[in-house]
Amino acid sequence: MKGIDMNRRQFLTSLSVGAGHLILRDMVRADSQVTSLSTDPFQLVSLGKTGIKVSLIGFGTGIHGGNRESNMTRMGREEGEALLRYGFDKGIRFFDCADMYGTHSYVANALKSIPREKYVLSTKIWVLPGALPEKERPDANIVVDRFRKELNTDYIDMVLIHCMMDPMWPDQQKRQMDLLAELKDKKIIRSHGVSIHSLGALKACAECPWVDSVHTRINAYGQSMDDPDPQVVVPVIRQIHQADKGVVGMKLIGNGEFRDDPEKIDRSLEFVLSLGCVDTMIVGFDKPEQIDDYAQRVQKALAAREIKS
């Protein structure tokens, strides 16, 4: 185990951002999840204690999403649905949506011939001002009923409260949390949680027993994260993971900031895979070749991890 730790520390000390250096030596340790992964980029992994298994690479449908639009809706239905189906055929089994992305029907149509138990769906309710045309926000039970129709499914695997930023969100969203808990009891949804956009809100997740899973921003460079220093964020994510809550990593390429920098993409993937506290990684894809490219990069990173261990 000491050899594993040292290799990871050596790798992390080599990461650089501009003229500075990203020193993360003390945050990575040999974790049971890290050592148990194979080199398959689409292998199924457990999402905390939810009982849900997702592919290591998930498909995010919300690139530049808002007001029920995203890159996927802008590319058109035929191309968008073909891209989603390509992802499934390659091995992706986890598809991430949200009300504000406008992609529910795209996912439903792309996967309509696939047995429902063969893939995992997550989506998000929006409770904040703006970003959606409604002046009022219906309660979670009403919204989820619409989601199920749009997704053409009897149940949804994960329903999240979208974009929580206030550290007091567990108190502020108590009504919606209770309604989602009732839906879970009725098996209308399988789990509930939050997507997070501030460090204070992220810290609240670890102590909130209601949280089953968390969508959190994580990459090697602190770009578009809850703190520009990953050394601040990772211990919080680890605490959430140690509480048996699922952790879904997002913004792995800094909200697209280094999508054209292969070296940064590789280092960020290697970094996140080395942490051992991120269960799955959702990536936004615009083209089939991007899915192939990321699969190869993740496979390479996993193979390198195996050699080092």
Mean pLDDT of the chain: 89
Tokens of 53: 């298994």
Smallest CA-to-CA distance from 103 within 82, 72, 142, 147 is with 72
Q: How many other CB atoms sit within 10 Å of the CB of residue 266?
A: 16
φ and ψ at 142, to 5 degrees? -70, -45
SS3 216: strand
Number of domains in the chain: 1
- How far, in Å, CA of 293 to CA of 2, rounded? 32
Residue 16 lies in a domain: no
26 has a pLDDT exceeding 60? no
What value does the mean pLDDT take over residues 286-290? 96
User: Could you tell me if residue 282 is inside a domain?
Assistant: yes
In a domain, 21, yes or no: no
For residue 31, what pLDDT is reported?
Answer: 52
pLDDT, tens only, 241-251: 999 999 999 99
Position 9 pLDDT exceeds 60: no
| Dist CA 159 CA 190 (whole Å) | 8
Contact 228, 222 (CB under 8 A): yes
Question: Which DSSP helix (H) or strand (E) runs through 124?
Answer: strand 120-125
Residue 19 has pLDDT above 70, yes or no: no
Does 38 reside within a domain?
no
Tell me if 19 is assigned to some domain: no
Q: What contacts 24+ positions apart, CB below 8 Å, involve 12-15?
A: 12/271, 12/274, 15/220, 15/221, 15/267, 15/271
7 pLDDT exceeds 50? no
pLDDT in tens, 54-92: 999 999 999 999 889 999 999 999 999 999 999 999 999
Asked whether the predicted pLDDT for residue 194 surpasses 90, the reply is: yes
Rg (CA), the chain: 18
Q: Give a yes or no: residue 139 inside a domain.
A: yes
Which structural domain range is residue 105 located in? 2-10+27-32+43-308
**Mean pLDDT, residues 192-214:** 97
- By DSSP bridging, strand 16-17 and strand 94-96 are unpaired
Spatial distance between the Cα atoms of 175 and 141, rounded to a whole number of angstroms? 11
DSSP string, 199-211: HHHHHHHHH-TT-
Kindly report the pTM of this predicted structure: 0.89
Identify which of 65, 95, 16 has the alpha carbon closest to the alpha carbon of residue 258. 16
In the chain, % of residues over pLDDT 70: 87
Q: Return the CATH number at 285.
A: 3.20.20.100
Strand pairing of 189-196 and 156-164? parallel
Q: Could you tell me if 164 and 201 are in contact, meaning their C-beta atoms sit under 8 angstroms apart?
A: yes
Work out the pLDDT band at 36, boundaries 50, 70, 90: confident
- Please give the DSSP secondary-structure letter assigned to residue 195: E
Q: State whether residue 138 is helix, strand or coil.
A: coil
What's the pLDDT at 278?
98
Q: Is 163 exposed, middle or buried (0-12, 13-18, 19+ CB in 10 A)?
A: buried
HSE, CB side, 13 Å, CA atoms: give it for residue 266.
14
DSSP secondary structure letter of residue 66: B
